Amino acid sequence: MPSFTVRLADGWQRAREKLPLALVPMLLAVTQTDSIRQILTYDGIHIGIKFGVPASFVTVWQFVSLPGSGVTANVGLPLSAPFAMVVVPGVLLLRAGLSAGYFGTIAAELLGRHEGFAMSVLAYFVPFLVITALPYVVLVPLALGLFGFGSLGEGGAIVGAVLLLIPAFIAAGYLFWATPYLIVLRRTGFVAAARGSYQLAVNGGAYLAYTVGYLGLVLLVSAVATAVVVNVPAVGLLIGIVGGGFLGLVLNITTMRFVADIDPQCPAAGEWPEQHRSGDSVVNT
């Protein structure tokens, strides 16, 4: 089984050959207006790190620890409620469509399928809409319950509720991050892909090792990305969005091939050179 660094080098080379796809994570990064506003309005020095799994398209925001104080909750757009009811669904539809085309195109390139971006949007839009909307469906009502309509008791009760939810979100991130990749690799729906991701996760092994390697990479990159993007926003935002778009493409391609390698129901994504096929882990060929 190839090491994480070998996989990363392969993903880097493939991303260089498909540079136009990097425009997707760049555009998706720009749609996160609340993150941009938070950085532009921050006055101070901020140092931070982030952790993350490749559960969706990877943009600069997976590597940037945003400045803030306390526990905050919002939907990412500082809009009045009626306007938000129109804009937020539009943003969700845009993200779902771009994600479907992006992931579908990456899978098609790896597997030698004749599927373009537009065809991938049509084929995978519905399951990616579910993936895109699910965090809003879960988190927005929760945030409104905790912060929007009074508290659930004293302040300590709110903090306790949040602390109890953190392990649940971490576990869900680990168990289901392969879902979008399995949707396009297996050409299946959201539920079947989520079940497949869960099975890979509980089996541990290569899945766990890759997750740990990915977490370590995000941690290292985030220390630099946060310092540049937050503390020098005039140039840092542009560098971060562009550089994060390319790095995001690298990581999404790398992860797509990894999932294709370890999932027995996925088509083979090509063979690795002999020197990278040592070890006991089985590579899907």
Q: pLDDT tens digits, residue range 157-171?
A: 556 666 777 888 889
- Predicted TM-score (pTM) of the model is 0.86
Separation of alpha carbons 246 and 172, rounded Å:
26
Answer yes or no: is 273 within a domain.
no
Domains contained in the chain, number: 1
The pLDDT of residue 240: 96
In order of 112, 119, 134, the CA distances from 123 in angstroms are 17, 6, 19
Answer yes or no: is 254 within a domain.
yes
Q: pLDDT tens digits, residue range 170-212?
A: 899 999 999 999 999 999 999 999 999 999 999 989 999 999 9
Which region among 4-13, 35-44, 131-140, 190-199 has the lowest average model confidence (pLDDT)? 131-140
pLDDT (mean) for 46-50: 91
Q: pLDDT tens digits, residue range 246-259?
A: 999 999 999 999 99
Answer yes or no: is 234 within a domain.
yes
The pLDDT of residue 74: 38
Domain containing residue 195: 4-70+77-268
Answer yes or no: is 149 within a domain.
yes
Answer yes or no: is 117 within a domain.
yes
Answer yes or no: is 183 within a domain.
yes
Radius of gyration of the chain (CA): 19
Answer yes or no: is 100 within a domain.
yes
Answer yes or no: is 218 within a domain.
yes
